[in-house]
Amino acid sequence: MNRLCSEAKIVAVKMATMNPESRVAVALVHYPVRNRKGETSATAITSMDVHDFCRTCAFYDVGPVYFVHPSAGMHAMVKDITDYWLEGEGGARNPGRKEVLRQLRMVENLGEAIEGFGGSVWYTSAKPPAEHLQPASGLLQIEGRHLIVFGTGWGLDELHLPTPSGWLSPIEGTGMVRHLSVRAALAIYLDRLGTPLRR
C-alpha cells in the first residue's frame, strides 16, 4: 500500500508540473467521414480509441484531445467510460490514468473543437489532395497553435467539414496495406513533430 501511495504521489507531481499551454491538439472525427463507398457516414467511438488517443497525446505532451460525434448516445457512452477514472475508484487507484483522461473533450462537431482550441487546422489522410501539403516535421516552425485532425472510417469527408489550413503529408508505407490504424497514424505524426510541442 505504501509503495502504491508513493507512486501515486510521484505521478501527481509530474502531472501538476506539466505546462498546460500546448501548441498542438488533436481531434478524432467520427462524423462526417466516408464509408467504403465514398458516402458521408458516421462511425462509433471505441473505448480503445478513447484510452489510446489520450495516452499517446499525454506521452508527447499534446492536448486537449477532441472526439467529434453528434450523437448524444456516444457522448453518454464516453462519459460512462471516463467516469470510472475521473470520478470513481479507478482514479483513486491510478491517478496517472485519471490525469491522462482529463484532456478528453467531447464535441458535437469539428467547429466546436476549432473554436475551443484556435490556431491552424491540419487534416490527415492516406490520400490527401495534392495541394497545401505540410510535412509534420516542419509544422512547429509555423507560429501559433495547431489542431491536427484525424478521421475514422474511410477518412475525413472534407466536403462537409471546415476548410483546413492545409493537409499533413501522408505516411508512406512500403507494404501491401495502404492504411494504418488511426492510433498508429497518431503516434507516427506526433513523433515526427519533434520538440518543443509547448510554448
Question: Which DSSP symbol is given to 128?
Answer: -
Q: Specify the pTM.
A: 0.86
| Domain spans in the chain, listed from the N-terminal domain onward | 23-70+102-193
Mean pLDDT of 41-52: 96
Across all residues in the chain, what is the average pLDDT?
86
**Fold of the CATH domain 23-70+102-193:** Alpha/beta knot (3.40.1280)
Distance between CA atoms of residues 161 and 116, nearest Å: 16
Mean pLDDT in residue range 145-163: 96
Amino acid at 161: L
Instruction: Note the pLDDT tens digit of each residue in 68-83.
Output: 999 999 999 999 999 9
Q: What is the pLDDT of residue 113?
A: 97
The DSSP secondary-structure symbol of 38 reads S
CA-based nearest residue to 69, from 35, 33, 118 = 33
Interval 5-34: pLDDT, tens: 444 433 443 443 344 568 999 999 999 999
Mind giving me the DSSP string for 31-69? SSEE-TTS-EE-----HHHHHHHHHHHHHTT---EEEE-
45-70: burial string, b at 16+ Cβ within 10 Å, e else: beeebbbbbbbbbbebbbbbbbbbbe
Among candidate residues 78, 82, 87, 80, the one with its CA nearest the CA of residue 46 = 78
pLDDT recorded at residue 198: 52
Length of the chain: 199
- φ, ψ at 6 (rounded to 5°): -65, -45
